[in-house]
Chain A
Amino acid sequence: MPRWGMVIDQDKCIGCQACSTACKSENNVPHGSPDEQRLRKDIYWNKVIAVTSGKYPKVNTEPISMPCMHCDDAPCVTVCPAKATYRREDGIVVQDFRRCIGCKYCIVACPYGARSFNSKEQEEKEYLRQDLPPDRSVWGQWPFPTRTHGVVEKCTFCFHRIDQGIKEGKKIGKEVVPACVEDCPTRARIFGDLDDTHSEVSSLLASRDWIRLREGLDTKPKVYYLLK
């Protein structure tokens, strides 16, 4: 059973935010308005934060792209009462819109701010799409052309691509990758099986220094950041 993880090379990442934009277009993630951003009601599946330290002229700003960490010991999985978020066998932490009751306990528990609550019905017609990635639950596929408000959503590691790719016998991590990985222009993001010693992610983790965010909380996140 593969254990999917992501490696983000901080030396190559240039904070261009192609990952955030590609994710929004791939997954039909609604945008917010200026007020909604100010009040933090808008939805981000992948966000790029900038962390600054130092003083002029010895200043350092690090752009850090944060998808959902798909933690192996995810606090959100522990606290979801309705089993709407759960860890699949292959390591992806899934959010099932159908089961989610919108209690927002997972948002409270997530240390990475990866989750967003959908707080309004989208009016813009551009969000009506027939093709959206199916939302998996134990009872089979449930296409979700428009999202419903009142549930929590987050990055899915584009499991729709992975599952389709596995069905078609393609190599995950090489031929099939999440949208953010595919559209990162610097190729700073690599996706693959952390348990496969021959995968690119494993060889990168073996050969470069890396960190994970908020290691102290012991959530065992599966997104690794290679240091500059």
Chain B
Amino acid sequence: MALTFSQIEGKSKGFYILLIILAAFTLIGFICFMVSYITGHHVLGTSNIIPWGMPIIITIYLIGLSAGSLILSSLTYVFKKEEYRPISRLAVFLAIILIFGAMMGIALDLGRPEKSWRLFMFFVLNNMRSMFAVNGILYGGYFLIGIVYLGAIFAEKYRFIRMMGMLAVFWAALVHMGTGAIFGFIATRPIFFSPIKPFEFLAAAMVSGLALLIIAVVAIFKFTKRDFNKTIIFSLGKLLLTLIILLAVMVLVDKLTHLYSPDREPIVWLLTGTYSWTFWGLQAGLAYILPIVLLAHPRCGMTIKGVIVAAFSVVIGIFGERFALVIPGTAYPLPFYPGKIEGIWGAAGSFPITPVESFMSIGIFTLMGLFLLVGLKYLELLPVGQTGQQAPQPEKKI
């Protein structure tokens, strides 16, 4: 029995309402971006002490989701796990729009977005020692690879797909390790500085990408009234558990290392200071502990609801992980000189939530949502069974 894919009808009321809401928020986000672009970044929450705010956090989060999603699609196309084939096209498409969203995020964060072409002048006008510049190659290439990959999947050229798949996995790993390197190679910020950061980011990418994929699959299949095989979800859930444990171990090692001198004050502040709620609450709590408990639990791990709740928790928690990296990472005051530095120079930064920044950030998500809806409608992404049944039967039960 062959698996075929189709578009969604996209004519229901629900579809149009969702489309309009997403478009409205995207428009608001765009207006906020224009405000920030024309009058300057003083309307955002960033400052000279916390120079990177929501757009960057969202960017690295989306890159993670994208890379993770693309790597998971390789389970089908490279590692030939047929049970995941129904969701793999969606995974690749998600990867593309997520990386697009991430690049949007970077453009929003730049002080002068009209010069963003400068990020792509590899070797000519770029300083290739900068991880930002290297990531320009990686993200640009990744976007193109993703498109070619999806094209190959649609064209059903299986050997080409396998080749692209391998390239895509390798490149996706590089992409998010590269993102991790942007942070990990900065000695000034002890919370960032660690050789484990690229690996930590890769693990976080897989974890969040997988969690997002689980949610996307269940949500889309439910909305388009397709039955899906629950065993896929459960096996993905088990995979998620493994990956979370791997990530948590890496983070634990990283933080433990930093609790030894030198430069342990910033990490102690992260764990006990004003932003410790981001680490303990969001990162450790929602991204690691809660999902592990849910997924490892014999009963919860075997219900769709349990897996979904765990996946949501991960998705939010990994966002919190990015937040807990970027904001406290730069908020801690730089120790220019031993002793107590008076006044503003020695005070930790604060990151106020501003309306312009918040709506801009929401706009990125809704833009991607728009792309997703449009893609579902015009591209054959969702699986359809031979008999007209909307979901295939697996060949083997797992």
Q: How far is the CB of B125 from chain A (nearest CB, A)?
A: 6
Given A51-B338, A213-B337, verify A108-B343 contact (CB < 8 Å).
no
Q: Which of A49, A86, A115 contacts B337 (CB 8 A)?
A: A49
Given A39-B350, A119-B40, verify A53-B339 contact (CB < 8 Å).
yes
A109–B343 CA distance with the chains assembled, in angstroms: 22
Flag if B343 contacts A50 (CB, 8 Å): yes
Given A40-B344, A107-B51, A108-B189, verify A99-B118 contact (CB < 8 Å).
yes
Tell me the residues in window 2-42 of chain A with beta carbons closer than 8 Å to chain B beta carbons. 36-42
Q: How far is the CB of B128 from chain A (nearest CB, A)?
A: 9
Flag if A151 contacts B112 (CB, 8 Å): yes
Task: Determine the chain B residues whose CB is within 8 A of the CB of A116 once the complex forms.
Answer: 48
B111 at the interface (CB under 8 A from A): yes
Q: How far is the CB of A154 from chain B (nearest CB, A)?
A: 11
Task: Determine the chain A residues whose CB is within 8 A of the CB of B127 once the complex forms.
Answer: 77-78, 80-83, 86
A61–B342 CA distance with the chains assembled, in angstroms: 9
A79–B213 CA distance with the chains assembled, in angstroms: 33
Q: How far is the CB of B38 from chain A (nearest CB, A)?
A: 8
Flag if B130 contacts A213 (CB, 8 Å): no
Flag if A81 contacts B336 (CB, 8 Å): no
B355 at the interface (CB under 8 A from A): no
Q: Which of A49, A79, A103 contacts B341 (CB 8 A)?
A: A49
Flag if A50 contacts B342 (CB, 8 Å): yes
B231 at the interface (CB under 8 A from A): no
Q: Which of B106, B121, B186, B345 contacts A47 (CB 8 A)?
A: B345
B269 at the interface (CB under 8 A from A): no
Tell me the residues in window 320-360 of chain B with beta carbons closer than 8 Å to chain A beta carbons. 330, 334-346, 349-350, 352
Chain B residue nearest to A50 (CB atoms) is B342
- The residue among A82, A115, A150 with the most chain B CB atoms within 10 A of its own CB is A82
B interface SS class: loop
Flag if A49 contacts B41 (CB, 8 Å): no
B262 at the interface (CB under 8 A from A): yes
Flag if A150 contacts B111 (CB, 8 Å): yes
B132 at the interface (CB under 8 A from A): yes
Task: Determine the chain B residues whose CB is within 8 A of the CB of A108 once the complex forms.
Answer: 51-52, 186, 188-189, 330
Q: How far is the CB of B134 from chain A (nearest CB, A)?
A: 9
Q: How far is the CB of A150 from chain B (nearest CB, A)?
A: 3
- The residue among A38, A66, A80, A103 with the most chain B CB atoms within 10 A of its own CB is A103
A113–B133 CA distance with the chains assembled, in angstroms: 22
Q: How far is the CB of A144 from chain B (nearest CB, A)?
A: 14
Task: Determine the chain A residues whose CB is within 8 A of the CB of B187 once the complex forms.
Answer: 75, 111, 217
B39 at the interface (CB under 8 A from A): yes
B109 at the interface (CB under 8 A from A): yes
Q: How far is the CB of A146 from chain B (nearest CB, A)?
A: 13
Flag if A51 contacts B349 (CB, 8 Å): no
A152 at the interface (CB under 8 A from B): yes
A81–B352 CA distance with the chains assembled, in angstroms: 28
A39–B339 CA distance with the chains assembled, in angstroms: 23
Flag if B111 contacts A83 (CB, 8 Å): no
Flag if B349 contacts A150 (CB, 8 Å): no
Known: A39-B47, A75-B188, A150-B112. 8 other contacts (CB 8 A): A39-B350, A50-B341, A53-B340, A75-B187, A83-B127, A101-B111, A103-B109, A148-B112
Question: Interface residues, chain B, CB within 8 Å of chain A?
Answer: 37, 39-42, 44, 46-52, 106, 109-113, 115-116, 118-119, 121, 125-127, 129-133, 136, 182, 186-189, 262, 330, 334-346, 349-350, 352
List 3 A-B pairs, minimum CB-CB distance, nearest first. Answer: A102-B111, A150-B111, A120-B40
